Amino acid sequence: MKPAILAGALAALVTGIIITAQAALLARSGGTLGAARTGLFTYLLGGAAAAAILAILTLRPDRPVAPTPGQILVVAVAGLMGVAILTGIAFSGQRVGVGAALGAMLLGQMAAAILVDAFGWGGAAIPVTLPRLAGLAALAAGVWLLLPRG
């Protein structure tokens, strides 16, 4: 296996672990602060940390930061999506558990990714096929099994 592929897979694995830890913290906080406050406070504090890091990186003369208005718009939309994601985790995690919440999120991601692939928005178009739909159905069954009963 190529080192770049191994590094990418390990980074994705660690990211998945971090997402799970964050989801647990958000679910707990969402139960006390409320989902919207949790999502907004998380972004406020994370944004302050990101601003400090960006300021440090911008001070490097060999890497000036001069984003275009289009780039700023794209990042702003992504930031708003991030608030929705964190709020959704804070809301759903406390109601169905972190495992079921992340499973349902993964199902949503895979369904959206199949559409992205079908239209070629991420690169070459990959058609929707019966095996891909069967994979989605298997994920949906897994999510159903993860949901708490009662």
pLDDT value of residue 122: 85
Distance from C-alpha of 33 to C-alpha of 90, rounded to nearest angstrom:
10
- Residue position matching structure tokens 């999510």: 143
Each residue's pLDDT tens digit, 49-83: 988 988 887 776 676 667 788 888 998 899 899 88
Each residue's pLDDT tens digit, 108-133: 999 999 999 999 998 899 999 999 99
Q: Are 81 and 132 in contact (CB under 8 A)?
A: no
Per residue, the 3-state secondary structure of 17-73, as one string, reads HHHHHHHHHHHHHHHHHCHHHHHHHHHHHHHHHHHHHHHHHHCCCCCCCCCCHHHHH
**Residues 81 and 114 reside in one and the same domain:** no
Which of 76, 95, 114 is at the close of a domain? 95
Q: Which of 47, 71, 48, 67 is nearest to 58 (CA)?
A: 67
pLDDT value of residue 123: 87
**Residues 11 and 83 reside in one and the same domain:** yes
**Residues 137 and 85 reside in one and the same domain:** no
Structure tokens at 107: 């199902």
Distance from C-alpha of 40 to C-alpha of 120, rounded to nearest angstrom:
33
> pLDDT band at residue 147, thresholds of 50, 70 and 90?
very high
Q: How many domains does the chain have?
A: 2
**Residues 117 and 91 reside in one and the same domain:** no
- CA gyration radius, the chain: 19
Each residue's pLDDT tens digit, 7-35: 988 888 888 889 999 999 999 999 999 99
Helices and strands, number each (H, E), in the chain: 5, 0
Query: What's phi and psi for 88, nearest 5 deg?
Result: -65, -40
Which of 80, 95, 110 is at the close of a domain? 95
**Residues 46 and 120 reside in one and the same domain:** no
**Residues 143 and 123 reside in one and the same domain:** yes
**Residues 61 and 105 reside in one and the same domain:** no
> pLDDT band at residue 38, thresholds of 50, 70 and 90?
very high
**Residues 89 and 101 reside in one and the same domain:** no
Domain of 19 in residue numbering reads as: 1-95
